[in-house]
Amino acid sequence: MMSGNYTSIDNQNVGGSVPAVADAPAHVAVKFADSSLQTFPPSGSQGKISGAAQPPRDADDSFGKPAAGSDEPQQSGWFRSFTIAAYKPYFDVDTADVLERIKDSLFPFNGSFSEKTANNPDLYGPFWICTTLIFVAASIGTFVTYIAHKVQKKEWDYDINLMTWSAGLFYGYVSIVPLALYLILKYFSAPSGFVHLLCLYGYSLFVFIPAMCLSVIPQEIVRWVVAGVAGFMSASFVALNLRNHIKSAGERWFLIVAGIFLLQLALALVLKLYLFTISV
């Protein structure tokens, strides 16, 4: 009799538990696409770390971010340009990326630099290339003039203007020229991006670093050859990588490309006259 009671109870429990078991998969199912985990960079940003493959987040990854439920206002719109987060995607490169782009700048006739950096232009390489150029120009220029004065037994004084002049030249050139070109291409409705132009022009200056190191050779003809080869390589690198993009500007695309090429050669001439020449 007791066993009959147990049987009826078991039947009732089983009958009442069947719907719960049937609904269980609906609660256990996991949809990774709907995950609310924050990732960096954002999915809409351009960067190397993107898509589904994400590295583990560090414990202090939320440093500097407002806590959940915080009343701190989020910067958006035009004010976001003054935040560090707005420029993080443009420094999303590693040593292998920078070395690969430097190598492409030394082989200008490939013309594939723009395509390789289309999804991830960086400002890290251009900044350090310009900074290195400034110190190389100042140090080598000072060293060469020092040796020349000592050979001629003349009094020598360090010229600080060489450092400031180099900084103004390289930082100004890599900023103003891409901005002017961006406005020109915008006027002709040609596809262009300001950051892409900054990236292209920044890496185009790398060839002048070894050229300046070779300027210590005490032969004027050698300095002219070195400056000419470096200028031609740099000008070809910029012009060939922009040629396909500028063709959409209409019949005047050739004039724009020629202007870009000649302007880069003019930079090499200025460097030869003011940095590759020993003045005593």
The tens digit of pLDDT for each residue in 205-235 reads 999 999 988 888 878 898 899 999 999 999 9
pLDDT at 35 over 50: no
CB neighbour burial string for 53-73, b if at least 16 within 10 angstroms, e if fewer: eeeeeeeeeeeeeeeeeeeee
Quick one: pLDDT band at residue 81, thresholds 50, 70, 90? low
Owner of token pair 């030869």? 272
SS (H, E, C) the chain: CHHHHHHHHHHHHHHHHHHHHHHHHHHHCCCHHHCCCCCCCCCCCCCCCCCCCCCCCCCCCCCCCCCCCCCCCCCCHHHHHHCHHHHHHHHCCCHHHHHHHHHHHCCHHHCCHHHHCCCCCCCHHHHHHHHHHHHHHHHHHHHHHHHHHHHCCCCCCCCCHHHHHHHHHHHHHHHHHHHHHHHHHHHCCCCCCHHHHHHHHHHHCCCHHHHHHHCCCCCHHHHHHHHHHHHHHHHHHHHHHHHHHHHHHCCCHHHHHHHHHHHHHHHHHHHHHHCCCCCC
Q: 84 vs 7, which has greater pLDDT?
A: 84
Alpha-carbon distance values, 180 to 122, 172, 195 (Å): 19, 12, 13
What's the rounded Cα separation, in Å, for the pair 164 and 242?
A: 31
207, HSE (Cβ side, Cα atoms, 13 Å)? 26
**With the C-alpha atoms ordered 119, 124, 125, 127, is the resulting torsion angle positive or negative?**
positive
The residue extents of the domains of the chain are 110-274
Q: 98 vs 72, which has greater pLDDT?
A: 98
What's the rounded Cα separation, in Å, for the pair 220 and 234?
A: 21
pLDDT at 272 over 80: yes
pLDDT at 41 over 70: no
Q: Are 170 and 134 in contact (CB under 8 A)?
A: yes
Token pair belonging to 15: 């009958």
Question: For the whole model, what pTM was predicted?
Answer: 0.69
What mean pLDDT value characterizes the chain?
Answer: 73
| Top-ranked range on mean pLDDT: pick from 31-35, 163-167, 272-276 | 163-167
Q: 250 vs 64, which has greater pLDDT?
A: 250
What's the rounded Cα separation, in Å, for the pair 173 and 168?
A: 8
pLDDT at 46 over 70: no
Q: What is the pLDDT of residue 51?
A: 42
Token pair belonging to 115: 């395509």
Q: What is the pLDDT of residue 218?
A: 77
Quick one: pLDDT band at residue 277, thresholds 50, 70, 90? low
pLDDT at 156 over 80: no
Owner of token pair 């003039």? 145
